Every structure is written in structure tokens, then in C-alpha cells.
């Protein structure tokens, strides 16, 4: 093995190196029994981050414009609690938020049914803590989803 090949496998990451040795990881969501593409397939990280950005932006706009009366410091105090409340309300009632709807996503349990209220409460709390949502498995499923048995899928 020459130096370039070794360096390339290190830069590509362990998954790419394992695939070069013949390991087959399948497609994202295959281990969960989800289809590869189309409705019900695993949502990709780009869509998930885009939806999160839209939801965060809308909540920040509301916190700054309506709740804080234009005061920046007061708006910062309202943003996370408002994000938590809005996300829980939307996910518990419709299974999707405004950002998720724009990106064609919804949150469901592993059996495909709507997430329960306790699942939504804990999932959103873990999402607000950021770290559990930033740690993903090979299916791009965050720890906040794994902890409560949910998955974000396309509709």
C-alpha cells in the first residue's frame, strides 16, 4: 500500500475504506425496513438541516418581532423555549413542522405510525440540546431519534 492510498482512505473515512475492502452497508434506512427512494424513505441530511433552518428562522422572527418587542436580548431568551413549544405542538398534531412540510418530511415511529406525545416531547428536548441531534449513525439518524424510536422520512 503506498502513502497516497493510505492517506486517501483516512481522508475518505472509515465507511469508504470498508467499502473498498468489500463491505456492503446498503442504502440509508435499509436496516430499518424503509424503502430506498420515494415516500417513506429516510430523509437525507440536507433536507433535515434545511427544515431545521427554516423552523429556527421562523421562530427567531416571531421571538424578535412579536414577543420581545424588537429587543435583541429579550428575543434570545424566548427563542429556544418558543422553538420547543412550536415544534412539540406541530409534531404532536400533524407529525411535521412548517420547515419539514416545505422540505417534504415528517417524523414517524419505526412502525410508520405518528409519534406519541411523550416521544415528541423527549425528541424535541434532545434536539434543543443540539449534541444528540449532531451525532448520527450510518443511516443519518440522530441520537435524538434513536432515543425515542422515531425516524424522519419523506412524504
User: Rounded mean pLDDT of the chain?
Assistant: 87
Torsion from C-alpha of 39, 41, 42, 47, nearest 10 degrees: -40
On the question of pLDDT at 149 being above 90, the answer is yes
The tally of CA atoms less than 13 A away on the side-chain side of residue 114 is: 10
Please give the Cα distance from 38 to 53 (Å, whole number).
Answer: 23
Helix (H, G, I), strand (E, B) or coil at 95: coil
Which tens digits make up the pLDDT trace of 88-122? 999 999 999 999 999 999 999 999 999 999 999 99
Amino acid at each position: 500500500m503506498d502513502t497516497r492510498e493510505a492517506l486517501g482512505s483516512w481522508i475518505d473515512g472509515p465507511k469508504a475504506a470498508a467499502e473498498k475492502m468489500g463491505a456492503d452497508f446498503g442504502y440509508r434506512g435499509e436496516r430499518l425496513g424503509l424503502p430506498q427512494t420515494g415516500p417513506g424513505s429516510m430523509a437525507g441530511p440536507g433536507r433535515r438541516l434545511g427544515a431545521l433552518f427554516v423552523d429556527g428562522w421562523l421562530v427567531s422572527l416571531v421571538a424578535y418581532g412579536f414577543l420581545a418587542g424588537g429587543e435583541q436580548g429579550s428575543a434570545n431568551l424566548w427563542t429556544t423555549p418558543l422553538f420547543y413549544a412550536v415544534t412539540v405542538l406541530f409534531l404532536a398534531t400533524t407529525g411535521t413542522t412548517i420547515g419539514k412540510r416545505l422540505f417534504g418530511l415528517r417524523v414517524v415511529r419505526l412502525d410508520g405510525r405518528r409519534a406519541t406525545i411523550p416521544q415528541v416531547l423527549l425528541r424535541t428536548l434532545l434536539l434543543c440540546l443540539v449534541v444528540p441531534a449532531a451525532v448520527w449513525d450510518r443511516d443519518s439518524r440522530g441520537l435524538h431519534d434513536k432515543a425515542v424510536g422515531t425516524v424522519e422520512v419523506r412524504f
